Amino acid sequence: MHDTVAIDPARLQALLQRERAHFGRHHPRSVALSAQAQQHYVFGVPLHWMRDWPTPASLFVQHARGADLTCVDGHGYADFCLGDTGAMFGHSPEPVAAAVAEQACRGLTCMLPDERSAQVGQWLAERFGLPRWQLAMTASDANRFVIRWARAITARPYLVVFDGCYHGAVDDTLVDRDPAGAGSVRRPSVLGQVHAHHAYTRVVPFNDLEALHDALADGQVAAVLAEPALTNFGLVPPQPGFWDTAQALCQRHGTLLVLDETHTLSTGVGGWARTHGLTPDLWVAGKAVAGGVPCAVYGCTDEVAARMQHAKDTAPPGHSGIGTTLTANALALAALHAALHHLHTPATYAAMQASADALEHGLRQRLQARTLPWTLTRLGARMELQFTPATPRNADDVRRHLQPALEESLHLTLLNRGVVLTPFHGMMLCSPATGTSHVQRLLQAFDDWLDALL
């Protein structure tokens, strides 16, 4: 089979123009609010990422519930973006919404543990398999803190990450491989950084055990920080056996293995590592972990916990650089308590997987029917359509096949037909509230897009 599909550029541009005009015609209120917000927001939105969608004006949300989103113009959408995973368990999951509502009048933040904290700690250990825990506000925070702990307890300076990684607004990880040599460089898109934050981060191609071995060999690496599968640069799964050997390499060189499961929590109850029997030294999750309320967690082994305790006990008194004032506030605790009890369960995941099965089946049928040389990569409730003829092994495989205009046309066409996908890539995520009608709407819109394109 050919490994690319010939897409007429003029036809693609015409499609894009048509869909942009369609959006403008059908979203007068979003267009008006965009103009109004432009007056007092830099970039016209509360967070500049909100302009990274392909719509000519921002889509303003009226409300979101379950797998459905309604915009201010009254259109309904089947939401497969789900807040880029923050709402993986559905928007406002009922037990979390109830717990937050109840807590809202009983104190929002006291900088003290509340009566649920002990139970939450026990459930974290049971669900995610590591005995000792700390909380953070966001996954970015959790990763920053974990990197500090890793360097503090190993007294080693270096961090290893994989090429194409994303672990949040964490300077040490916003690093690329140096295209001109073997070292690393600051990711060119990073703004306002004067420190050479790449100097202590080594970047290795994913699935490359030899490169990982070389990066660890001098015994100066505190931690390997990784997603079990790359989910932020396409979806790149680990090759069979990769993690067993990678973990053995870490152990041989005294390097901590830290897994960031913020996205791979979609794999199954407890995340990828739990599902596949991998036992990291530290483990991080944010976004959906408390049902979409700002909260993140990191867990560790008893051994790492003892070393953390020792580092803290022997440090001079004062600021540790770890933690923020609102961390583990009462609302976050209430949400996490409800989420651990009601959402991180086999029943929830069974519903997510069932919808993902139907979606995967429908998409594969369509790719086959038109002999399209594209791949669909699945990670539990999450899947990614990639314009590559074979499942990518690393970020370079993804880079070679990026087609931004094609992707934009997919996103816009679907959005105009009541289906929301995550910007930046072809990711589709199924929540427990995602049902047959949502899947059917996506497949129908996908057919329309293929018809228009080919």
By CB under 6 A, name the binding residues for ligand PMP.
84, 138-140, 143, 166-168, 227, 232, 260, 262-263, 286-287
Burial of 172 (0-12, 13-18, 19+ CB in 10 A): buried
Q: Tell me the closest approach of the beta carbon of residue 85 to ligand PMP, in angstroms.
A: 7
Q: Tell me the closest approach of the beta carbon of residue 91 to ligand PMP, in angstroms.
A: 16
Q: Tell me the closest approach of the beta carbon of residue 424 to ligand PMP, in angstroms.
A: 9
Residue whose CB is less far from ligand PMP, 288 or 376: 288
Residue whose CB is less far from ligand PMP, 137 or 308: 137
Residue whose CB is less far from ligand PMP, 261 or 407: 261
Burial of 232 (0-12, 13-18, 19+ CB in 10 A): buried
Residue whose CB is less far from ligand PMP, 83 or 129: 83
Q: Looking at beta carbons, which residue is closest to ligand PMP?
A: 168
Q: Tell me the closest approach of the beta carbon of residue 142 to ligand PMP, in angstroms.
A: 8
Q: Tell me the closest approach of the beta carbon of residue 359 to ligand PMP, in angstroms.
A: 21
Residue whose CB is less far from ligand PMP, 172 or 227: 227
Residue whose CB is less far from ligand PMP, 168 or 268: 168
Contact between 168 and 143 under an 8 Å Cβ cutoff? The reply is yes
Q: Tell me the closest approach of the beta carbon of residue 369 to ligand PMP, in angstroms.
A: 33
Contact between 124 and 299 under an 8 Å Cβ cutoff? The reply is yes
Q: Tell me the closest approach of the beta carbon of residue 88 to ligand PMP, in angstroms.
A: 12
Q: Tell me the closest approach of the beta carbon of residue 364 to ligand PMP, in angstroms.
A: 25
Residue whose CB is less far from ligand PMP, 20 or 51: 51
Q: Tell me the closest approach of the beta carbon of residue 230 to ligand PMP, in angstroms.
A: 9
Contact between 321 and 166 under an 8 Å Cβ cutoff? The reply is no
Residue whose CB is less far from ligand PMP, 103 or 264: 264
How far is 427 from 82, CA to CA, in rounded Å?
A: 10
Residue whose CB is less far from ligand PMP, 144 or 401: 144
Residue whose CB is less far from ligand PMP, 30 or 143: 143
Contact between 68 and 75 under an 8 Å Cβ cutoff? The reply is no
Q: Tell me the closest approach of the beta carbon of residue 235 to ligand PMP, in angstroms.
A: 12
Contact between 226 and 262 under an 8 Å Cβ cutoff? The reply is no
Residue whose CB is less far from ligand PMP, 44 or 286: 286
How far is 299 from 293, CA to CA, in rounded Å?
A: 19
Q: Tell me the closest approach of the beta carbon of residue 20 to ligand PMP, in angstroms.
A: 26
Q: Tell me the closest approach of the beta carbon of residue 86 to ligand PMP, in angstroms.
A: 7
Burial 379-417 (b: 16+ CB within 10 A, else e): bbbbbbbbbbeeebbbbebbeebebeebbbbbbbbbbbb
Per the DSSP assignment, residues forming a β-bridge with 202 are 160
Residue whose CB is less far from ligand PMP, 234 or 418: 234
